[in-house]
């Protein structure tokens, strides 16, 4: 049987996340993602996803200290980043830097996963500051948690409120079933290649605008709309030109993506809701109606990327960073899936239907 895009095909078993696309439900190993957003830190959520249980205090302390210890990038990786062309995208830089990492053969995959989770923010911040001619900020050695340290390395400041907003975003996007980048990671590790190679494959896949590259498209869309009275015109013109509306539609969700809802909730709790968030919400409402008329058989609602763009803009982060920051949370899901794949491995090798000359 041939199913284009493997739509609806079950290609793996997982204990990591459950998605009910009709109800708009997402569970991490049985627990609603909302519980993690409200009650868990980034480190606790990562531990839970990787280990399948909540961390004891000593285990959490151990995880935190490992993430701190692994924050530094080797100097040869800095040199590689430094010689990359200035106009190379952040995702290309991240993919190149990650692929160059050397991990000892004796290291267990769990340990490599922690190393990768820790080093992503440092690579992103290192490149971001160097390309913008800003002085380098070394990773904090103790007092800052994973997310605070990320903000600090990027901006030189630690705002608790901003770090908490970013933390919610990172928790919400850590894991999401067999999405394209996770599938890429599982395919690579299924050849019994290594975890670094699997994550490099995932990064290459994440970059595309139909997957992790969508938030930049959302910002462009909102900038083009710029005021409520232009929503209808911009959206209908795009649809007439057969363009997709970025931040809308999802392969699995046939209702609003629960992560988009949670992110919206987070933004609306702020003391000062930015003006353009109101524009984003108006655009969401009107676009859903237009899409319902335009594609009556499709159920197209906002996906996580729509409000991810809103979060990034609220945090005043450069759009160039969006997909890389998304990757710095999804790395947890990628690693957890790769490790799960190896627990009961079978090589991915589907068939292809030949339609050429015979």
Catalytic residue ranges: 250, 305
All residues at 6 or more sequence positions from 27 whose CB lies less than 8 Å from its CB, including other chains: 17, 18, 19, 33
Asked whether position 304 contacts ligand ACO by CB under 6 A, the answer is yes
- Identified binder of ligand ACO from the candidate list 305, 312, 334, 337, rule CB under 6 A: 305
Q: What is the signed CA dihedral for 38, 256, 46, 122, rounded to 10 degrees?
A: -100
* Smallest separation, CB 303 to ligand ACO (Å): 4
Find where tokens 């699995």 sit: 252
Q: Which residue's CB is nearer to ligand ACO, number 71 or number 95?
A: 95
Q: Which one of the spans 12-20, 209-217, 229-237, 271-279 is the region binding ligand ACO (CB under 6 A)?
A: 209-217
Is residue 249 a contact residue for ligand ACO (CB under 6 A)? yes
Q: Is 11 in the site for ligand ACO (CB under 6 A)?
A: no
- CA gap 159, 151 in Å, rounded: 8
DSSP 248: B
Contacts (CB under 6 A) with ligand ACO, residues 256-295: 295
The token duo for 357 is 């000359």
Q: Is 247 in the site for ligand ACO (CB under 6 A)?
A: yes
C-alpha 213/C-alpha 55 separation (Å) is 33
User: How far does CA 162 lie from the centroid of its chain?
Assistant: 18
Minimum distance from residue 274 beta carbon to ligand ACO (Å): 21
Where is 285: in which H helix or E strand? helix 275-294
Residue 225 as a binder of ligand ACO (CB under 6 A): the answer is no
Residue nearer to ligand ACO on the CB measure, 5 or 30: 5
* Three-class secondary structure of residue 302 per DSSP: strand
> At its nearest, how many Å lie between ligand ACO and the CB of residue 155?
25
Using CB under 6 A, which of 11, 210, 268, 270 touches ligand ACO?
210
Whole-angstrom distance, CA of residue 28 vs CA of residue 164? 20
Rg from Cα positions in the chain: 20
* C-beta nearest to ligand ACO: residue: 249
List all residues 6 or more positions away from 7 whose beta carbon is below 8 Å from its beta carbon.
Answer: 251
Is 337 among the residues that bind ligand ACO (CB under 6 A)? no
Which CB sits closer to ligand ACO, 70 or 322? 322
Name the residues that contact ligand ACO, by CB under 6 A: 5, 210-212, 214, 244-251, 295, 298, 300, 303-305
């Amino acid at each position: 049987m041939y199913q284009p895009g493997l739509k609806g095909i079950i290609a793996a078993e997982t204990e990591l996340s459950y998605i009910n696309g009709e109800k708009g439900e997402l569970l991490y190993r049985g627990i609603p993602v909302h519980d993690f957003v409200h009650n868990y830190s980034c480190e606790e959520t990562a531990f839970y996803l990787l280990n399948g249980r909540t961390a004891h205090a000593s285990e959490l302390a151990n995880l935190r200290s490992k993430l701190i210890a692994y924050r530094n990038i080797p100097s040869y990786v800095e040199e590689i980043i430094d010689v990359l062309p200035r106009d190379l995208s952040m995702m290309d830089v991240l993919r190149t830097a990650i692929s160059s990492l050397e991990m000892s053969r004796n290291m267990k995959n769990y340990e490599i996963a922690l190393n990768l989770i820790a080093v992503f923010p440092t690579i992103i911040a290192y490149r971001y500051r160097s390309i913008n001619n800003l002085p380098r900020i070394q990773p904090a050695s103790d007092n800052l948690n994973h997310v605070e340290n990320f903000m600090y390395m990027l901006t030189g400041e630690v705002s608790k409120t901003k770090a908490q907003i970013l933390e919610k975003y990172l928790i919400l996007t850590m894991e999401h079933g067999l999405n394209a980048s996770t599938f890429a990671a599982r395919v690579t590790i299924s050849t019994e290649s290594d975890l670094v190679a699997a994550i490099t494959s995932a990064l290459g896949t994440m970059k595309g605008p139909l997957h992790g590259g969508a938030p930049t498209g959302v910002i462009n869309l909102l900038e083009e709309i710029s005021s409520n009275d232009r929503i209808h015109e911009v959206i209908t013109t795009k649809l007439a030109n057969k363009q997709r509306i970025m931040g809308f539609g999802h392969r699995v969700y046939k209702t609003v993506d629960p992560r988009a809802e949670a992110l919206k909730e987070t933004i609306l709790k702020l003391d000062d809701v930015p003006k353009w968030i109101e524009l984003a919400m108006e655009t969401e409402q009107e676009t859903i109606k237009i899409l319902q008329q335009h594609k009556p058989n499709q159920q197209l609602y906002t996906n996580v990327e729509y409000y991810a763009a809103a979060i990034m803009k609220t945090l005043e982060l450069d759009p160039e960073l969006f997909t890389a920051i998304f990757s710095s949370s999804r790395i947890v899901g990628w690693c957890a899936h790769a490790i799960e794949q190896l627990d009961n491995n079978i090589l991915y090798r589907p068939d292809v239907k030949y339609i050429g000359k015979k």
